[in-house]
Amino acid sequence: MNIGIIDYDAGNLKSVEIALNFLGGDYFVSSDPEKLIKSDKLIFPGVGEAYSSMEILRSRSLDNLLKEYFKKGNPILGICLGCQIILESSEERNTKCLGLVPGVSKVFSHDMGLKIPHMGWNQVQSTKEHYIFKDIPNNSSFYFVHSYYPEPDNSDSTIALTDYGISFSSAFSVANLVAVQFHPEKSGPHGLKMLDNFIKQGV
């Protein structure tokens, strides 16, 4: 069961790789769609800016890879920007995104009296049973760092909520895709458990 980690110069690529290595996951890092399409599972990491990240994805034909892979139905884990880019668009430089899941990424507003980025540990309240939260106590804290938040159109896809000025979908899932706004690779033991749940799912 090998896991492909998409290399599109995302800031947390290294951390995700180190975490998978620590967990003993069978993984490889690649920007080659031919190789990635053959992987059993896919991790779509992300720290960065939506517009330039979409440009890099397109230049490496990774946008098409993600669409094709999603149709194929194998498990995909999107992290942070990787969770925003799978929606249709982002308010970050009005970027057209992949559109795997209907919805948009919206910007947090200083008007709500918030510090931006939303940076630090916040509680994740699971609203639906999902394998990704297996053996993780509900309302555990995970590490967030982002200025935009995902808003999938279909609120039924939400599997966890987090409060920061508003209550937003900090995790959602459609078919075999699961997307999390926080960083499991930087969220201590609970985060590692979540990555392990992804690695072990279906094995």
Total number of residues that touch other proteins (CB under 8 A): 38
Cis bond upstream, residue 117 (ω within 30)? yes
First to last CA, the chain: 7
80 noted as active-site residue: yes
Window of 66-74, 98-106, 141-149, 153-161 that interacts with other proteins by CB under 8 A: 141-149
The region, left, alpha or beta by phi > 0 then psi within -120 to 50, assigned to residue 27 is: beta
Contact between 192 and other proteins (CB under 8 A)? Answer: yes
Which residues have a Cβ under 8 Å from the Cβ of 68 and sit 6 or more positions away? 37
Q: Is the dihedral of CA 143, 147, 11, 151 positive or negative?
A: positive
Please tell me whether residue 95 binds other proteins under the rule CB under 8 A. no
Binding letters toward other proteins, positions 6-25, x by CB under 8 A: -----xx-xx--xx-xx---
Q: Does residue number 90 form part of the binding site for other proteins (CB under 8 A)? A: no
Which of 80, 83, 97, 190 is catalytic? The answer is: 80
Cα 187 to Cα 36: distance, rounded to the nearest angstrom:
26
Binding interface with other proteins (CB under 8 A):
11-12, 14-15, 18-19, 21-22, 47-49, 110, 114-123, 141, 143-147, 163-164, 183, 185-189, 191-192
